[in-house]
């Protein structure tokens, strides 16, 4: 008993310490201090939310955020009117054709979650090139030079070698939509890789100095554009982009007339009748690539690429002002 | 037993101390509120400041004062996230445009111009000058769309900086206190744009832009090296040891003054604003602070003329479609519009041929050759060279060129073999590079200036 009596004060003291030792601070949990209120929305913002965010979970970022682009480039936001025009083109020429051939959930399932729009050209420092678009991790596509576009024009490169007017393509609707087809091709490839047989069709002339080639020279080497001769992954998506901006007849006409090109004189070689000598080797290479691309869409996505081509081209024609 | 009880109390006391000694954690509060709240407050403060001026702000914006100058803007911020702007940056397009803006917290509180308007011309890589020439292909004026809120003073003047050009860019917003924003802002930018054009008209100014600084220590003449395209100057002066020293000066025209950035520091005085001297017959802007006076304007002769007999190079290209554009990249304005117009007018007046190229050979000696290339053939003139009183005198000593050709190109010959001589200088620090640049101004017509690349 005496022994228990002695322990009792210690028990009380310990209980006191445990109960009151950490008592002086009070919890002060209140509501969130982060501002989650809806930002000011203008008519364009509301339209974009209705047509891109709600149905496709795609955000069209036309308002400037310095974190969306490289801080080392001199870029500016586009005029909102041009942002609206390109958004409509994206709906009609990119989303709708894919939805028709791939099912209404195709773009909902596989799409970049964000488009970033910039008004001016994105010049690459130290080299005579500009960046037309960027695809980042399948999540974001950035499009440049929207304020330089003529939305009433569809332009294709001329048949004149090295024609300066070929840049008109990038000032027409064809410029950004081919960029979207190109970058979306990368996103499809990130979901399902393409057949590696594509990489070994003609790897010998891939070069980082692709910009020193004209499109005509690249085609005579078996690449659909000069940028396609950069590396095989770009080659693959350039095939997609160049097919989808043309009708099948235009595409066949482009491929079947690839000539034998003399890099020394930067001209096509002509036969005795003065006609362009057709480069059957280059044509065969590009047709092999075309077959792999068509099989990729058919087998991996259940899409008839030629049907998609017809829809995308018609939508492109319909899109001009 | 007693010892045991003591031990227990010691243990209990220690336990008590350990427990309660850490209980009342009296933290000294550095801030009154949590970070999220402080961010909101800072954003709210700037938003409130911007919309607090119903007649808007006058903004002076130096995009990058070690390479480019600046521009004047007027901005009227609205509660609905829109801002109305006009400026003198768009080469005569003064229309008030409406765009959106936002105040955000990034690294710090930032004012972001989120859609295109006058101020986003600062980030246009294809920005052009009043002559329609690209300012700096791919870079433009090297500005930003995001401005970091720095401070506000007691007069409501708001100071911003640019994270990219941290030490060389500044945007300062000063309340206009206008009665009518639209009419008064338009009048102001039209006037400041006109001041910019007037300062760079070859017909009404000489080819020698200068800055003269007078202080207690004497008078120092600077060769201004003003570039009307980039609104940037690289004033150089000759030190006591004979070496040339240069500084960077961004230029911004207002209605009646020139602002320079960074400010000019002389004898402890800071000169920032040069006012148009309307009492002078010469075009000049004057700044006086304390005992220091500085003048920006033009002189009749170069500050640093070529003095050495053999300082000129052997092979000089004066006019060449390719190499002149190369020279323009290095030294804009050194071949001025008056000379370009002279060539255009000359070719327009000649029906038989066009002048396509002009070279000078052998000017490092006392005799050389003037070469004029044309669409019908090349012409060679033997020339002599003399240097007298800071001027170079070239004279034709012989030629086999047909008289009709010489007669046709006489306006051109007048400015090359000028009987009154040529002022020749090397007016740019870029002459540190291997291809030196020389600038020629005929003494009989100092509105003409042409540059030559030495190969």
Of A259, A249, A221, A248, the C-alpha closest to A305 is A248
Looking at the DSSP bridge assignments, the partners of residue B331 are: none
Of B133, B176, B136, B130, the C-alpha closest to B156 is B176
Residue that wins the pLDDT comparison between B334 and B361: B361
A177: DSSP letter:
H
pLDDT tens digits, B345-358: 998 999 888 888 88
pLDDT of residue B277 exceeding 70: yes
The CA distance from A78 to B73, in Å, is 20
Nearest to A33 among B34, B81, B144 (CB): B34
Chain B nearest CA to A94, separation (Å): 25
DSSP letters spanning A189-247: HHHSPPPGGGGGSSGGG--TTGGGS-HHHHHHTT-SSTGGGS-HHHHHHHHHHHHHTS-
Looking at the DSSP bridge assignments, the partners of residue B61 are: B71, B171
CB atoms closer than 10 angstroms to residue B237: 18
Question: pTM value?
Answer: 0.83
The CA distance from B174 to B259, in Å, is 14
pLDDT of residue B302 exceeding 90: no
B210 three-state secondary structure: strand
Considering only CB atoms, which chain A residues are within 8 Å of B125? 73-75, 120-123
> What mean pLDDT is predicted for residues B132-159?
93
| pLDDT of A311 | 97
Give yes or no for a contact between A119 and A149, defined as CB atoms under 8 angstroms apart. Answer: no
* H helix or E strand, kind and range, residue B361: strand B355-361
Q: Do B143 and A25 touch (CB under 8 A)?
A: no
A21 three-state secondary structure: coil
Q: Do A40 and B81 touch (CB under 8 A)?
A: yes
Burial annotation B17-41 (CB, 10 A radius, 16+ → b, else e): eeeeeeeeeeeeeeeeeeeeeebbe
DSSP letters spanning B137-168: TTTTT---SEEEEEEE-TT--EEEE-STTTTT
Give yes or no for a contact between B335 and B293, defined as CB atoms under 8 angstroms apart. Answer: no
Residue with tokens 């910019």: B196
B304 three-state secondary structure: coil
Mutation choice for A interface testing from B116, B127, B165, B166 by most A CBs within 10 A: B116
Contacts 24+ apart (CB under 8 A), A95-102: A95/A56, A96/A311, A96/A315, A97/A308, A97/A311, A97/A312, A97/A315, A98/A303, A98/A308, A100/A311, A101/A303, A101/A304, A101/A307, A101/A308, A101/A311, A102/A301, A102/A302, A102/A303, A102/A308
**For B4, nearest residue in chain A (alpha carbons):** A6
pLDDT tens digits, B48-77: 999 999 999 999 999 999 999 999 999 999
Of A287, A246, A107, the C-alpha closest to A295 is A287
Decide if A67 touches B, using CB distance below 8 A: yes
State yes or no: cis peptide before B373, omega within 30 of 0: no
pLDDT category of residue B447 using cuts at 50, 70 and 90: confident
| pLDDT of B438 | 79
Decide if A46 touches B, using CB distance below 8 A: no
pLDDT of residue B431 exceeding 90: no
pLDDT category of residue B327 using cuts at 50, 70 and 90: very low
Considering only CB atoms, which chain A residues are within 8 Å of B116? 76-79, 119, 147
Spell out the residues 6+ positions from residue B247 whose beta carbon is closer than 8 angstroms to its own. B234, B235, B236, B264
B6: DSSP letter:
H
pLDDT of residue B23 exceeding 60: no
* H helix or E strand, kind and range, residue B396: strand B391-399
pLDDT of residue B329 exceeding 50: no
Decide if A55 touches B, using CB distance below 8 A: no
Decide if B25 touches A, using CB distance below 8 A: yes
| pLDDT of B361 | 82
Considering only CB atoms, which chain A residues are within 8 Å of B5? 6
CA–chain centroid gap for A298, Å, is: 21
Decide if B123 touches A, using CB distance below 8 A: yes
**Nearest-10 crossing angle of helices A280-295, A248-256:** 150
Decide if A116 touches B, using CB distance below 8 A: no
């Amino acid at each position: 008993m005496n022994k228990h009596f002695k322990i009792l004060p210690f028990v009380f003291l310990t209980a006191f310490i445990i109960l009151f030792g950490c008592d002086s601070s009070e919890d002060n949990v209140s509501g969130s201090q982060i501002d989650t209120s809806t930002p000011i929305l203008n008519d364009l913002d509301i339209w974009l939310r209705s047509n891109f965010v709600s149905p496709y979970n795609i955000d069209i970022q036309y308002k400037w955020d310095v974190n969306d682009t490289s801080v080392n480039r001199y870029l500016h936001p586009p005029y909102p009117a041009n942002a609206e025009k390109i958004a409509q083109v994206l709906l009609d020429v990119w989303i709708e054709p894919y939805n028709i051939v791939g099912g209404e959930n195709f773009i909902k399932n596989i799409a970049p979650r964000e488009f970033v729009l910039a008004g001016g050209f994105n010049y690459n420092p130290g080299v005579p090139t500009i960046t037309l678009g960027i695809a980042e991790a399948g999540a974001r596509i950035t499009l440049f030079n929207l304020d330089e576009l003529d939305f009433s024009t569809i332009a294709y490169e001329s048949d004149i070698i090295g024609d300066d007017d070929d840049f008109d393509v990038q000032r027409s609707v064809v410029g950004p939509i081919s960029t979207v087809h190109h970058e979306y091709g990368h996103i499809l490839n990130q979901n399902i890789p393409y057949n590696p047989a594509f990489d070994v069709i003609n790897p010998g002339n891939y070069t980082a100095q692709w910009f020193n080639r004209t499109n005509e020279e690249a085609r005579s080497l078996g690449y659909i554009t000069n940028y396609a001769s950069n590396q095989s992954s770009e080659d693959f998506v350039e095939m997609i982009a160049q097919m989808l901006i043309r009708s099948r007849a235009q595409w066949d006409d482009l491929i079947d007339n690839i000539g034998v090109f003399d890099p020394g004189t930067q001209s096509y070689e002509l036969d005795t009748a003065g006609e362009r000598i057709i480069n059957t080797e280059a044509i065969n290479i590009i047709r092999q690539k075309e077959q792999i691309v068509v099989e990729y869409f058919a087998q991996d996505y259940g899409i008839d690429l030629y049907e998609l081509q017809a829809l995308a081209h018609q939508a492109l024609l319909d899109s001009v002002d | 037993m007693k010892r045991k009880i003591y031990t227990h109390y010691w243990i209990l006391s220690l336990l008590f101390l350990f427990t309660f000694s850490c209980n009342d954690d009296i933290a000294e509060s550095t801030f009154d509120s949590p970070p999220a709240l402080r961010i909101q407050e800072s954003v709210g403060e700037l938003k409130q400041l911007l919309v607090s001026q119903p007649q808007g702000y006058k903004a002076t914006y130096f995009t990058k004062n070690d390479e480019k100058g600046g521009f004047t803007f007027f901005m009227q911020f609205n509660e609905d996230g829109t801002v109305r702007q006009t400026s003198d940056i768009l080469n005569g397009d003064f229309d008030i445009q409406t765009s959106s803006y936002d105040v955000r917290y990034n690294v710090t509180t930032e004012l972001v111009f989120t859609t295109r308007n006058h101020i986003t011309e600062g980030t246009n890589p294809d920005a052009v000058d009043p002559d329609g020439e690209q300012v700096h292909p791919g870079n433009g004026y090297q500005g930003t769309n995001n401005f970091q809120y720095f401070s506000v003073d007691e007069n409501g003047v708001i100071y911003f900086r640019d994270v990219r050009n941290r030490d060389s860019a500044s945007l300062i917003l000063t309340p206009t206190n206008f009665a009518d924003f639209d009419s008064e802002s338009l009048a102001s930018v039209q006037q400041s744009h006109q001041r910019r054009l007037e300062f760079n008209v070859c017909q009404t100014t000489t080819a020698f832009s200068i800055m003269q600084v007078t202080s207690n220590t004497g008078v120092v003449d600077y060769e201004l090296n003003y570039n009307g395209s980039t609104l940037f100057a690289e004033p150089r002066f000759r030190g006591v040891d004979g070496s040339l020293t240069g500084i960077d000066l961004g230029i911004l025209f207002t209605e009646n003054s020139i602002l320079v950035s960074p400010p000019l520091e002389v004898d402890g005085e800071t000169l920032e604003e040069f006012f148009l001297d309307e009492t002078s017959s010469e075009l000049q802007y004057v700044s006086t602070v304390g005992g220091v006076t500085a003048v920006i304007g033009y002189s009749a002769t170069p500050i640093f003329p070529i003095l050495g007999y053999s300082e000129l190079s052997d092979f000089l290209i004066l006019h060449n479609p390719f190499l002149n554009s190369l020279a323009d990249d290095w030294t804009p304005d050194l071949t001025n519009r008056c000379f370009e117009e002279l060539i255009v007018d000359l070719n327009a007046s000649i029906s038989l041929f066009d002048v396509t190229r002009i070279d000078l050979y052998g000017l490092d000696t006392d005799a050389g050759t003037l070469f004029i290339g044309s669409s019908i053939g090349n012409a060679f003139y033997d020339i002599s060279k003399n240097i007298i009183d800071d001027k170079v005198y070239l004279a034709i000593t012989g030629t086999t060129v047909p008289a009709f050709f010489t007669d046709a190109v006489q306006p051109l010959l007048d400015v090359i073999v000028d009987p009154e001589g040529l002022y020749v200088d090397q007016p740019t620090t870029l002459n540190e590079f291997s291809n030196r640049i020389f600038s020629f101004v005929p003494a009989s017509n100092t509105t003409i200036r042409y540059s030559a690349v030495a190969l």
